[in-house]
Amino acid sequence: MTAVLGGRAQGVSTLHFAMDDADGIDTRQRLVVIGNGMAGARVVEEVLERGGGEQFAITVFGEEPHGNYNRIMLSHVLAGEEHEDDIVLNSHDWYADNGVVLRAGVRVHRVDTHAKVVHAADGTTTPYDQLVIATGSRSFIPPMTGLYRGPAGATDGEQLLPGVFGFRTIDDTRAMLAAAAEHEKAVVVGGGLLGLEAARALQGHGLAVEVVHAGTHLMNQQLDPDGGAILKQSVEALGIVVHLATRTTEVIGPDRVRGVVLADGRAVDADMLVIAAGIRPVTEVALMSGLEVERGIVVDDQLRTDDPDVYAVGECAQHRGELYGLVAPVWEQARVLADLLTGTDPAAEYHGSRTATKLKVAGVDVATMGVNRPERDTDEFLVISEPRRGVHLSVVVRDDKLIGATLLGDTRKVAYLTQAFDRGTPLPEQRIKLLVDLSDGDAEVGVAELPHDSQVCNCNGVTKGAICDAVAGGCGSVGAVMDRTRAGRGCGSCKGLVQQVVEWAADGDVVEDPTAGWYVPGIPLAKPELMAAIREQGLLSVSAVFAALAPGGQEDARSKMALTSLLKMIWGAQHVRENDATFINDRVHGNIQRDGTFSVVPQMKGGVTTPAQLKKIAEVAEKYEVPMVKITGGQRIDLLGVRKEDLPAVWDDLGMPSGYAYGKSFRTVKTCVGSDFCRFGLGDSTQLGIDLETRFQGIESPAKMKLAVVGCPRNCAEAYVKDVGVVAVGNGRWEVYVGGAAGASVRKGDLLATVDTPEAVMELAGRFMQYYRENANWLERTYDFVPRVGLERIKAVLLQDSEGICAQLDENMQQSIDAYTDPWGQDGRAPATPGQFRPALPLVELPLVPVR
């Protein structure tokens, strides 16, 4: 009964000589941790993981005699689903093996922060250099008459009446298990998470259970009243009686629990009384030591108390006014503290946690994150309530971002919502899609319902089944699945769906890709840090970037193209070109075709050409037996199937600059005939298109940029679905749209601004494109970038200059414009590297494309 959990086998003992006892030369700092719960032990683990065992002689005080165990699992132990041995996290052996002195079963009285000494209840004193307080919390015992054994007026510290239990420790749990075997009727005080779990567990042992809850609805910390009402139905359906909005005022004794009296005078028979009415931080040690305590021990962003050598973490700590009772924030705190203590990251800070939790309460699935109801007039609040099914779902949206969600009875959307909540990913326009998978003709079915053989990635022909197999085969992250199956590696439009399938297949157990935040896979830096490093270290070439910033100086083939683009943007003409660091399209300035030939698209600004140009193009096409001549979607003429070795001669004969139909760059500006010819035209769209193309030709960017200008809202040149689209609306005014798409995705652009002159269009378009160039992820088109950043933010930055960067954006764009050279003219005259235009398949008769 009183076995020590995670204890050592009897007879085993370790003679532990602290080094200073042995030879007096232990130069390590003394780290003392008060509290051996999930927070305290985690701090020790994290410190050891960072090599802290060599820096620190560590001593841990634990009030309980046990090793460290998983408190979250206690309700499972109570329910008989887990054996208590299975919830041990760190046994006594673990401490011994890691050279950590565990003072289990020793309560700490107070700390003398001046002498830097810990005074324990057993009379010992322990000096420290750094001290961590992780005393956690204890059950809150609400006042009620007759709760304690002994005379009236007995105070805290007195014995609870036999049959009364808190629910906090393994000893509480053992005592309840023993009592449950002998008793029939239990009252649980508290209808929160812990109370309901206790109630359900005791019911499982055959007891009749009633829950008394002071709030007006169950789980009022997490659920709104309607959700609480539905949970109550589900709990009652299990046979548990629920009393709401009332308190237990008296315990009927006197020798042991015989029943309780409620505030309204009703008496309820019971031979067990479980108190799960919330927790309170344990702050006595801190108070006795003169540290600042409000609700919890007050700490700053470095988890430091008002004494510089004393820290607090976990449920006892109060950070920015918040107390945390979930494990995820506690572990975040432990990581930050370990970074600080060991000096791994002296600037580490904890900024609070966005808490999300998914659990099963009394057999009902519940997931909550963030707030559970709207807080401002402008917050969007969507609720779907199905009391009959026991389902209640709600989301709170602020400024296009998910700030809270509550799912009761149906948590299928939890993975998706957690993503949106954690990462602020774009939300569907139809908010209802946050909660339900609608089959509205788009055949957008929830991933759970997708048939196994349905194709998820159409580019690479990858089915849902193949993705699930990859997950089952050990791929733990979305990136790993994409590498294995190639799903999402084509046009990329299915990436979201791939991610959903992976999350579904892994049941939410997905590792966040460490590379996900990096700009390129070969260099462990996000874009802003990468750009800063390149600037600071003056890295002008891709090989210099690898040498300076890649782990081990290792080149990475898949990172080269993005780095070349980035360097060109940062340095303009100063960038040192390395042909091998470019994609083949950029090496030979044409778009590679399936047979290894190339397409040649001469520049034709605004889609406007001349008879002379057309004659020239016709002559060239005949001379080089070009197998196909085609009008492109961007209003250009494409000569397809040109052999690599013919490229310089073709360019030379054409005598026209490159139309940039191959790069991750500014591509084309489509125009309509505007006011010059069209009887509906409101503005000279043709000239503005030509001007835009003249100014921004060839500008490289994270992904291609396709533009259009139309002379009226009839939109003949499709400006509403362009990366930047300009629409004449009369009276000399122009609307500028951004983030539109009509490719793998179709999206109408967002109206950025309406301006008065073509010059203003040019300035705003340039500013937007530069902002995109500097901030978008590699291959992230504007139709993903704009919703990710948020239109309001983009407006603020570009129109109100909220970040004070507009002048810099304009200047940076001008640098790129000044660096423009026509690649055909340049490499046509003198190859950039030897054999630049040599055939790569010398034995294959090209082109293989059939001549029409």
Instruction: Write out the residues near another protein by the rule CB under 8 A.
Output: 483-486, 489, 522, 543, 554-558, 560-561, 578-581, 583-584, 587, 592, 594-596, 833-835, 838-844, 848
Residue 254: how many other CB atoms lie within 10 Å? 9
- DSSP per position, 564-598: HHHHHHHHGGGS---GGGS-HHHHHTSEEPTTS-E
Q: How far is the CB of 592 from another protein (least distance, A)?
A: 6
Nearer to another protein, 581 or 806 (CB): 581
Q: How far is the CB of 584 from another protein (least distance, A)?
A: 4
Burial 821-852 (b: 16+ CB within 10 A, else e): ebbbeebbeeebeeebbeeeeeeeebbeeeee
Q: How far is the CB of 583 from another protein (least distance, A)?
A: 7
Nearer to another protein, 24 or 842 (CB): 842
Residues 238, 361: contact at Cβ < 8 Å?
Answer: no
Q: How far is the CB of 651 from another protein (least distance, A)?
A: 18
Nearer to another protein, 579 or 815 (CB): 579
- What six digits make up the tokens of 780? 């992230």
Q: How far is the CB of 468 from another protein (least distance, A)?
A: 16
- DSSP per position, 131-197: EEE---EEE-----BT-BSSSTT--TTSPBPTTEEE-SSHHHHHHHHHHHHH-SEEEEE--SHHHHH
C-alpha 209/C-alpha 196 separation (Å) is 10
Residues 672, 685: contact at Cβ < 8 Å?
Answer: yes
The alpha carbon of residue 429 and the mean position of all alpha carbons in its chain are separated, in whole angstroms, by 21
Q: How far is the CB of 500 from another protein (least distance, A)?
A: 22
* CB-count burial class (<10 Å; 0-12, 13-18, 19+) for 543: middle
Nearer to another protein, 611 or 842 (CB): 842
C-alpha 822/C-alpha 824 separation (Å) is 6
- DSSP per position, 771-796: HHHHHSPTT--HHHHHHHH-HHHHHH
**First-residue to last-residue Cα distance in the chain:** 89
Nearer to another protein, 512 or 595 (CB): 595
C-alpha 465/C-alpha 447 separation (Å) is 11
Residues 688, 658: contact at Cβ < 8 Å?
Answer: no
Q: How far is the CB of 471 from another protein (least distance, A)?
A: 16
Query: Cα-Cα-Cα-Cα dihedral of 482, 483, 484, 490, to 10°?
Result: 60
C-alpha 487/C-alpha 497 separation (Å) is 10
Nearer to another protein, 520 or 569 (CB): 520
Nearer to another protein, 259 or 490 (CB): 490
The DSSP element (H or E) to which 736 belongs, if any, is strand 733-738
C-alpha 413/C-alpha 427 separation (Å) is 13
Q: How far is the CB of 810 from another protein (least distance, A)?
A: 34
C-alpha 78/C-alpha 548 separation (Å) is 56
Nearer to another protein, 11 or 842 (CB): 842
Nearer to another protein, 241 or 544 (CB): 544
- DSSP per position, 659-702: ---SSSBEEEEEE--HHHH-TT--S-HHHHHHHHHHHHTT-B-S
* CB-count burial class (<10 Å; 0-12, 13-18, 19+) for 384: middle
Q: How far is the CB of 834 from another protein (least distance, A)?
A: 6
Residue 756: how many other CB atoms lie within 10 Å? 11
Q: How far is the CB of 560 from another protein (least distance, A)?
A: 6
In three-state secondary structure terms, 539 is coil
Omega of the bond prior to 847 within 30 degrees of 0, cis?
yes
Q: How far is the CB of 513 from another protein (least distance, A)?
A: 17
Residue 175: how many other CB atoms lie within 10 Å? 18
Local structure of residue 97 (DSSP, 8 states): H
Alpha-carbon Rg for the chain, nearest whole angstrom, is 34
Nearer to another protein, 432 or 841 (CB): 841
Nearer to another protein, 594 or 679 (CB): 594
Nearer to another protein, 729 or 779 (CB): 779
Strands (E) located in 331-400 = 356-361, 364-370, 380-386, 391-398
Q: How far is the CB of 413 from another protein (least distance, A)?
A: 32
Nearer to another protein, 281 or 488 (CB): 488
Q: How far is the CB of 823 from another protein (least distance, A)?
A: 17
Sheet containing 628-631: order of strands: 591-592, 598-600, 637-642, 628-631
Nearer to another protein, 295 or 838 (CB): 838
Residue 708, CA atoms < 13 Å, CB-side half-sphere: 29
Nearer to another protein, 453 or 845 (CB): 845
Q: How far is the CB of 841 from another protein (least distance, A)?
A: 5
Nearer to another protein, 143 or 835 (CB): 835
C-alpha 797/C-alpha 772 separation (Å) is 12
Q: How far is the CB of 541 from another protein (least distance, A)?
A: 11
Q: How far is the CB of 625 from another protein (least distance, A)?
A: 20
Q: How far is the CB of 36 from another protein (least distance, A)?
A: 46
Nearer to another protein, 285 or 563 (CB): 563
Nearer to another protein, 277 or 561 (CB): 561
Q: How far is the CB of 477 from another protein (least distance, A)?
A: 16
C-alpha 774/C-alpha 779 separation (Å) is 13
Helix runs in 368-426, H state only: 414-423
